Chains A and B, each alone.
Chain A
């Protein structure tokens, strides 16, 4: 393939508009013409917003930052799918060539009790920060660390830890889950730490505390539907949830925490 395949699309957008957390929201319909298939999804929204400003209508609020798939800021439901139809791809990395001329695209915010809407497509995900705050770390102060090579970490352990640590904290797992469960997010941090020697001292305390915070933040439970794994742009596997359940049981039954 080369660039000569670029085309233009005419689209109908149905976008959730809501001016504030306590205001009523509704879907509004917009039409866009001549959208290049080379655009990213967010660039398509940029085009819409420029047209709205020109018409004197307030632009659509949506979260975004790095636009290269790593910061975890962006994320909307696109035709009912978190981050849209492309596999392992954030909204900012989704390109318009995945859509067809004449498509109607439904765009909604993440919907979960624990993620209240800020405006339009923007939600408040600070519940994730509070979960990390309750134990998603190794308690080591600056300056007190031994030589990095003093504790060997076998390659396979490092790879497992890295695969879990790759979570970008976007919240797609919660948004795609019918129970609005945060188990994939929480388990990614729990297994990242549990798989490393550095994480052992607080292994039990961490999982108990993070799960308790997760529940207190009103995230639902996991019923193994695996929508989260399908939606995850960072490739976090369902097996992390299985490991977290084992970690939790072990901590509950056998630890002194």
Chain B
């Protein structure tokens, strides 16, 4: 039985005409005078698109910024791996795009599980992002005459995606990183690399600092500030195999959750349909093949089960182009969640191909016959090369084999319209928060949200907190810092003390299996209850049997990993619990009990048109649910159909 809090959560959203809400709010926000900005210190954790852009912007405004990252340089955060592009409602191609359309597409794509006010603001500031990045020297693709080029993406009916070859994330991140480094040079940002945040320090209910561990020396440190900004990304690595980088983790978010920040909608996970399939037990991560491939590739499996013939031996009549069959109007361009589930369904029924039978074909033979190999090479050459490097198969001759993989997480720490969590003074940006994508994120929208939060939202809203909260000065001598420091130290020591027989890697892989099998693309009550039980058992086993060599006072990658796995083992239970609670299907959350006759999502707006934000009650205890009702005044509740 879920315990529900008495009062409803207030997202502090403005009311009135949606187009003027952000302007109105900006007018009402209190300002901080320049001489006071110089006296304020803001801690920014993470240096991806959200953290990099926030740190740079705050420093430009005159704040002192302490910037922390887990990598050896702020330039390496995982935003760098985004390939496709960034959306903005510029309407440069004159194809009828507008702020309204981007807003509408995003709310609908998120299956009516995001806040209208937030999404509208996101669409509004999207245009400023492109201006800002172009001014920084981000080399966006251009037309011959020098104006910006756009392409269509993720099934949108307009071309609103800006891109830098296949490396958009890299170029946007380097733009933010360089803006940051300019402020480092100006003395307004201090960077701390190879630092892992291990706790949040809360004094009188307000976030005032963090505890970190220096990953090179093992030294624990505390830092005090006037506000803490968390930009630490998503939790896809709970599934072990994902398209995330290896260091992506939930630790910073989870420690904040344990200090009182609510965790919202953890069950909204995005599974991307076109990834290179698992090749063996040694597999350490999955690699995404850009969604753009589905513009020309046709997805199919054999019509007979357990067909072991090579694809060129299977005649046309014996192939099942299942996306074209099920979704005649969208065909191979059906959205990510729908395409992923359809691939799983075929493989589960025994029609999968490849050595593990866990993949489907993405076949370019028709496009090659129609347009010629050169045309296909010009469009997708680098992706085909990457595929061949990893699989040793030539996709010009043999169909690619693909399978869905965990890619992005829409859930995250709950934040209000100001991006402030339920702990005052703790702000959460980018993938780490839950706010803008609802139950399913559209392609090219993650880069947009990260930069919107960091460049154009937080710099305004954080001033209001600093100006109105009358914060007393604190130093790291305050007892709360000592308590948090000791908690972080003893947890690391506890891991070292177990001295068991199994590596952290072993537990992480085992957790990944539980999550993927039961809390993956399709979920049901029985499987979720089983998963929660298995996660608890695995967590218990971890604390009895994990083996970490070396000491805490050195560069110890194994110890780092074990700490993150320990947090994933706690967090994953909440993810499964949220999935069990949300007794409906929407976007990336598909409950098998709730599907239409055609196998599509069956939402329950009467019972679940709300944000589920969970409050910590101790490890292994059920969290308390705080609901935030979602109202749709402009983009009315409807059905997503791709038939």
Interface flag for A216 (CB, 8 Å): no
Q: How far is the CA of A124 from the CA of B71 in the complex (A)?
A: 11
Complex contact A122–B181 (CB within 8 A): no
User: Could you say which residues of chain A place their CB within 8 Å of the CB of B75?
Assistant: 72, 129, 132, 169
Complex contact B139–A165 (CB within 8 A): yes
User: Could you say which residues of chain B place their CB within 8 Å of the CB of A95?
Assistant: 389-390, 392
Complex contact A158–B245 (CB within 8 A): no
**The one of A19, A56, A67, A162 that contacts B284, using a Cβ cutoff of 8 Å:** A67
Q: How far is the CA of A65 from the CA of B547 in the complex (A)?
A: 23
**The one of B73, B174, B178 that contacts A128, using a Cβ cutoff of 8 Å:** B73
Q: How far is the CA of A194 from the CA of B252 in the complex (A)?
A: 39
Question: Interface digits, A91-118 against B, CB 8 Å rule (1 contact, 0 not)?
Answer: 0010101000000000000000000001
Contact (A122, B555) CB under 8 Å given A66-B78, A142-B132, A148-B131: yes
**The one of A5, A70, A139 that contacts B81, using a Cβ cutoff of 8 Å:** A70
Interface-lining segment among B95-103, B142-150, B564-572: B142-150
User: Could you say which residues of chain B place their CB within 8 Å of the CB of A19?
Assistant: 554
Question: Interface digits, B179-213 against A, CB 8 Å rule (1 contact, 0 not)?
Answer: 10110110000010100000000000000000000
User: Could you say which residues of chain B place their CB within 8 Å of the CB of A46?
Assistant: 282, 284, 505
**Which chain A residue lies CB-closest to B181?**
A133
User: Could you say which residues of chain A place their CB within 8 Å of the CB of B459?
Assistant: 142
**Which chain B residue lies CB-closest to A164?**
B139
User: Could you say which residues of chain B place their CB within 8 Å of the CB of A134?
Assistant: 185
Interface-lining segment among A47-55, A176-184, A236-244: A47-55
Complex contact B505–A50 (CB within 8 A): yes
User: Could you say which residues of chain B place their CB within 8 Å of the CB of A56?
Assistant: 549
Interface flag for A141 (CB, 8 Å): yes
Complex contact A36–B134 (CB within 8 A): no
User: Could you say which residues of chain B place their CB within 8 Å of the CB of A71?
Assistant: 71, 76, 78, 80-81, 245
Min CB–CB distance A237 → chain B (angstroms): 16
Complex contact A137–B178 (CB within 8 A): yes
Question: Interface digits, A144-180 against B, CB 8 Å rule (1 contact, 0 not)?
Answer: 1111110111110010011001101100000000000
Interface flag for B287 (CB, 8 Å): yes
Contact (A38, B139) CB under 8 Å given A53-B558, A145-B132, A152-B145: no
**Which chain B residue lies CB-closest to A120?**
B555
Interface flag for A140 (CB, 8 Å): yes
Q: How far is the CA of A124 from the CA of B243 in the complex (A)?
A: 26
Interface flag for B619 (CB, 8 Å): no
Number of A-B contacts (CB under 8 A): 240
Q: How far is the CA of A136 from the CA of B57 in the complex (A)?
A: 17
Complex contact A136–B178 (CB within 8 A): yes
Q: How far is the CA of A33 from the CA of B473 in the complex (A)?
A: 60
Interface flag for A17 (CB, 8 Å): no
**The one of B164, B246, B279 that contacts A67, using a Cβ cutoff of 8 Å:** B246
Complex contact A141–B394 (CB within 8 A): no
User: Could you say which residues of chain A place their CB within 8 Å of the CB of B463?
Assistant: none
Min CB–CB distance B74 → chain A (angstroms): 7
Q: How far is the CA of A146 from the CA of B127 in the complex (A)?
A: 11
**Which chain B residue lies CB-closest to A3?**
B355
User: Could you say which residues of chain B place their CB within 8 Å of the CB of A54?
Assistant: 503
Contact (A65, B78) CB under 8 Å given A2-B310, A137-B182: yes
- Chain B residues 495-538 with CB under 8 Å of chain A are 503, 505-506
**Which chain B residue lies CB-closest to A168?**
B170
Q: How far is the CA of A185 from the CA of B542 in the complex (A)?
A: 44
- Which of the four size classes fits the interface of chain B? 35 or more
Min CB–CB distance A137 → chain B (angstroms): 4
Min CB–CB distance B371 → chain A (angstroms): 22
- Which of the four size classes fits the interface of chain A? 35 or more
Interface flag for B372 (CB, 8 Å): no
Q: How far is the CA of A53 from the CA of B546 in the complex (A)?
A: 11
Complex contact B134–A151 (CB within 8 A): yes
**The one of A2, A20, A119 that contacts B393, using a Cβ cutoff of 8 Å:** A2
Complex contact A5–B392 (CB within 8 A): yes
**The one of B74, B81, B171, B557 that contacts A59, using a Cβ cutoff of 8 Å:** B557
Interface flag for A14 (CB, 8 Å): no
Interface flag for A68 (CB, 8 Å): yes
User: Could you say which residues of chain B place their CB within 8 Å of the CB of A151?
Assistant: 134
Contact (A138, B136) CB under 8 Å given A93-B390, A149-B92, A166-B167: yes
Interface flag for B378 (CB, 8 Å): no
User: Could you say which residues of chain B place their CB within 8 Å of the CB of A143?
Assistant: 57, 128, 132, 455-456
Interface flag for B398 (CB, 8 Å): yes
Min CB–CB distance A52 → chain B (angstroms): 8
Min CB–CB distance B280 → chain A (angstroms): 6
**The one of A20, A39, A93 that contacts B389, using a Cβ cutoff of 8 Å:** A93
Complex contact B80–A70 (CB within 8 A): yes
**The one of A59, A165, A199 that contacts B174, using a Cβ cutoff of 8 Å:** A165
**The one of A64, A137, A168 that contacts B181, using a Cβ cutoff of 8 Å:** A137
User: Could you say which residues of chain B place their CB within 8 Å of the CB of A40?
Assistant: 284, 390
Question: Interface digits, A210-230 against B, CB 8 Å rule (1 contact, 0 not)?
Answer: 000000000000000000000
Q: How far is the CA of A165 from the CA of B457 in the complex (A)?
A: 28
Complex contact A196–B81 (CB within 8 A): no
Contact (A43, B283) CB under 8 Å given A65-B78, A66-B245, A154-B146: yes
Question: Interface digits, A76-90 against B, CB 8 Å rule (1 contact, 0 not)?
Answer: 000000000010010
**The one of A2, A61, A69 that contacts B398, using a Cβ cutoff of 8 Å:** A2
Complex contact A138–B146 (CB within 8 A): no
Interface flag for B403 (CB, 8 Å): no
Min CB–CB distance B362 → chain A (angstroms): 15
Interface flag for A198 (CB, 8 Å): yes
User: Could you say which residues of chain B place their CB within 8 Å of the CB of A119?
Assistant: 554-555
- Chain B residues 266-318 with CB under 8 Å of chain A are 279-280, 282-285, 287-288, 310
**The one of A140, A141, A154, A198 that contacts B142, using a Cβ cutoff of 8 Å:** A154
Q: How far is the CA of A158 from the CA of B163 in the complex (A)?
A: 12
Interface flag for A58 (CB, 8 Å): yes
Interface flag for B141 (CB, 8 Å): yes
Contact (A192, B137) CB under 8 Å given A142-B132, A169-B73: yes
Interface flag for A186 (CB, 8 Å): no
Complex contact A70–B137 (CB within 8 A): no
User: Could you say which residues of chain B place their CB within 8 Å of the CB of A72?
Assistant: 75-76
Complex contact A155–B142 (CB within 8 A): yes
Complex contact A1–B392 (CB within 8 A): yes
Complex contact A118–B555 (CB within 8 A): yes
Q: How far is the CA of A71 from the CA of B147 in the complex (A)?
A: 29
User: Could you say which residues of chain B place their CB within 8 Å of the CB of A198?
Assistant: 134-137
Interface flag for A204 (CB, 8 Å): no
**Which chain B residue lies CB-closest to A68?**
B287
Interface flag for B220 (CB, 8 Å): no
Contact (A50, B503) CB under 8 Å given A56-B549, A198-B135, A198-B136: yes
User: Could you say which residues of chain A place their CB within 8 Å of the CB of B90?
Assistant: 148
Closest A-B pairs by Cβ, 6 of them: A152-B146, A137-B178, A145-B135, A148-B134, A145-B131, A162-B139
Please, could you name 26 A-B residue pairs with CB atoms under 8 Å apart, sorted by A? A6-B279, A38-B391, A38-B392, A39-B280, A40-B284, A46-B284, A46-B505, A65-B71, A65-B78, A65-B246, A66-B246, A67-B245, A67-B246, A68-B81, A71-B81, A97-B392, A125-B72, A128-B73, A138-B135, A142-B56, A142-B455, A145-B128, A152-B145, A154-B144, A162-B165, A192-B139
- Given A43-B282, A143-B455, list of 9 further CB < 8 A pairs? A36-B282, A38-B392, A68-B287, A71-B76, A126-B193, A129-B74, A129-B184, A142-B60, A193-B137
